[in-house]
Every structure is written in C-alpha cells, then in structure tokens.
Structure 1
C-alpha cells in the first residue's frame, strides 16, 4: 500500500471516529434534555416581580431545573405548590424579614471565583455588598430588618465532622456597622470567661436588633449561646445545640441535635428547646436534618432535605406530634413575609 492510500485510510478513520463521538454527545445531550423535560410534578416557574414585604407570601431559592434555577422566587403561602414567580436574583443562601433580604452569592471572575453577601431592599434592589472569606452556609435577618448575619466555611464544607472552621458576621443596617467575626466577642462558658483557639461560631438567629442566639463549638462540644452586640458577649445556655432558630414569640429554639447511634455523616435530629425550662422535645422528623429550620408560624417548622432537584422543603409540628410532610419540592432557604 502506497503512502497516498495510507493517508486516505487514516483520514477516513478520523472522520468516522469523530462522527461517532459527535453522535454520542448529541444523543447524551438529547437524553439529558428529555430527562429534564420529563421530570414529573416539576413546578411551573415564570419571570415576574418578587417583593419581600407582600403579606402572605413564601420567598425562597428556587431549585427547579430550568433558566430560573437558584433564583429567588415567591408563591402564596397558602398555595406552596402553585406557580412560582421568579425574580432573576440568584442566591446560594437567602433569608428575609422586615422588608430586608440577605443574599449570599457566588461570584465568577476572570482570575478567580469568590463569594459575596448582598443586602437587598424589599424590591430586591442591592443596598450594599461585602466580600466573603469562604463558602456561604447560613444567613438570617432580624425581625425588624435592621440587622443581618451570615456564616461561611473558611475551611471544610460540612458540619458533620470536626475539621472545619467558620466565620460569622453581623451587620447593623442603621449605621452599616459590621462585626466581621463573632469569635472576637467574649465567650462565657458556664458563667466563666473561656478563651481557646478552637472556638467556632455559626447559625445566628435574632431575638431583636441587639440580641441573638447562635452555636459556639469548642473542645469538641457545641453550645447554644445568647449574644449581646452592645456588650460584645456570648453566654452559653445549653449543650449540644446547632443551627438554632428562634420561635416568633421568642420562647423556643428549634435546632439540630447530635444523637447517639446515628451515622457519622448524618448525626442530627430536629429538636425544640423551651428557653424557660430548658426542656427538649424531639420532633417527629427522624431523618438527619442538616439545615437551620425556619418557623412558618408559632407551631410549624420548615426545613430542607435532599430531593430530586437537590433540595425539598418539609414541615413538621414543633411539639413532636403528627408526621413530616413535603411542603414545597425543589426549594431551599425559605422566608415568610407579611
């Protein structure tokens, strides 16, 4: 076989192989698109205006596949399975109260990627932005809307183990005063000033613009603490509490509790603590909940669990009765306005 024929055979083989690869790629893409279109029960999502001070609305991160995934969306609180209005504003973590929103976003740059916290007004317009030192994980707004807080992972990406470090910041919107790291506050453990290199703080939930609750970890244990921004103090109240969420009447805290016998990668159960008596009540949710629950009202907790779209919202009574049920598929980080 001469050189010319060999070259012709080589070119033909390359074209055949290229055609096979292209066909396989198009077939896989077609199957993926068909799978997305064929997902049963997917929520309907359309572009529109989303506001944070409209009465009787649920606002959340939309997780449904499509052009509006990760956008802040809204539905009537009375019809959580209804059509969604999507805002165009994308957030990894989100919360809202008092007409203020806090949106923790990913930032994709030409040289490097990063994250930022964006404070939003009631029409989702940006008021201020702040660079973040790590991966967003928790966000909260005070009932009045005048204070916001966020937590990021500075190292590590899970609360399940012990090899992680967090940074939690609290921002006062009245003067735009930022406490960048709550680890700078004085921490009192069982009434005594406690100083240690391993202190981590996360999961703020506000009582008002000055006082809040959060989790402090040190020495391999976690503690519910009450924080005071004026005094710059954190005071321990109860052990084995993570990601607290204060009830609307300020008397109870919902939280993640590590329980004996649970898997290392799914160690938590959802509990409620009465702050007056320090009595704990286990909810009827028996699965591991790695979320900071939200109180829909004075009786019901809403929280995220893994689902077909990445995350679904579930609800359960706070008093330990009844059973969990899906509140909203393909959703995360809810807030209830009005």
Structure 2
C-alpha cells in the first residue's frame, strides 16, 4: 500500500535550536524561451520521446506559460527526474481525507533541490481516484520536459495517464523563499510522513494570533511526523526511518492576521524540505507566506516525545520517494 513516485520533501522546525542563519540559495539564470500565448496543445507519441519502441501511447499535452510558468530553468527541471522512481507498481491516487482505499494522498510532488521546478500528478476533472505507476508518471513528465521546458521554456500539463486515464501530470515553476542554516536537519525519510499527511486544502483562511476575532487558524501550530508503516515501505527497507518522529514543523506569524491556504503552506514545506533537508541535510526557514507575506515556517530535527502529537490527517500514506 504505498508506492514510489519519489520526491522527497519537507518539514519545518518548531524550535529555538534551529535559529536561522540565512545562506544564499544556489541560483541560475532562467532560460528564456519563446512565449506561447496563452497555450499550445500538442499530441505527442510517447515512444518518440522516451525511445521506448514498445510504447506508442499518444499523449494529450498542453504547454501553458500562464498556468504553469514561463522561463523554467532546464537544468533545475531535469534534476527532478532523479527523485521519481522507476517502478512499474500500480498505485491508486486520491485526494487526502477520502474514505475510499488508496495508496497515495494527493497533492504530492517531486521537486528539484532548488525548489524552482516540480512534477505533480493530479486527478482529472471529476475523477475520485486514479491508477498509475511511478514509471508512467515519470515518462509522461519527461515528455512535458522535452516538449514544453526544453523547446519552449514553459510549463505544461499532460493528460490521460495510467491504467484508467484518470491522472494528469504537470511540470511547473515555483518561487521559493527559503533559507537553510547550519544546524543538522532531520532524516529526509522522516519528513516524508509529515509531507504526505499534512493539511493541504486550497480554501483560504485567516491565520493569526488570538484574541483577534478574525483568526480562523490559531498560530503558532507545531506538527511532527507520525509513525507511518506500510508493507511496501518495509519491503524497501524504509520502516526504521519512517517510524521516527524527528521531522518537526512550526508555523507562525509576525504582525496582523493574514489570508492563507493550507495548500500554500504545504507547498512551502515541500520546498523547504527539498532544499534544506534533502539537498543540504540542514534545518531551515521559509518566509513571506500569505497575503500579508508575514507567515513563516521553520523546520527542525527534534527527539520524539509526547509534547507534540503525531500528524495523522490523511489516510494511509507511505513514502514513495527515492532516497535522493
């Protein structure tokens, strides 16, 4: 009951032991390619892109700079594929919180180490679940990479992926505001559990401190990765890593309450963990969230204790990420 679309991501600190010492991020000049306005739809034979003569699937593909970004960095996007498993196991995807049995909670994404490019599977409109393998997701995403990122410098979406054609895959840009510090980070695999099950709905709420009557989400909030054990994770030898609760995230605010969605928080957690924990094995901080740009996240490595309850919002997710 797990799978392997592997990205690895996440979490932030709740602790003063993770004081933030900003360091410059690795940056690259963004590739400037021709703009398509507003979108370009293509039909691409998968075998011509992957070199796989046994597959002749015709993919519905759309390059769209408005929805998925323009001037994507080719090298940043290329490195995402190192975090997507080459596995043929069929995985059932569904939105987190759904009662119907499934293997992987959505949203889920594979992110580059600079967090500026990501690959993300999503359900097609009207679908409740979808079935596909990590390899199918990766091959579809690579088609997008070749047709949209390399040739045109923009992001895009490809549809009808997997055994039931209920999955779409996007490749897109993200603008992180992340600073890694000098404190050792938690194990990457420990962070997977937090990322997989944390809140991620897109409804905007008011985050802030009480006693302000406008506040809907009371800050600060602290989450810790829970104990997540699944047969596939055990077979992959990940159980001891996933079981610990060291990956901890703190969400807080400076100043007045502000509008923010849990999806935006989730995105920042993925970016922070990918850049600092997976990329540098460090703690870190993400800033500038919300309409007021005053919500921040901290990621730390904590010893398990009873002070913070394990996060267990989603169904039965396990890790599907490569070790990076």
The TM tier, using the shorter chain, reads: under 0.3
Give the structure with the higher percent strand: 1
Higher relative contact order (CA 8 A, sep 6+): 2
Give the structure with the higher percent helix: 2
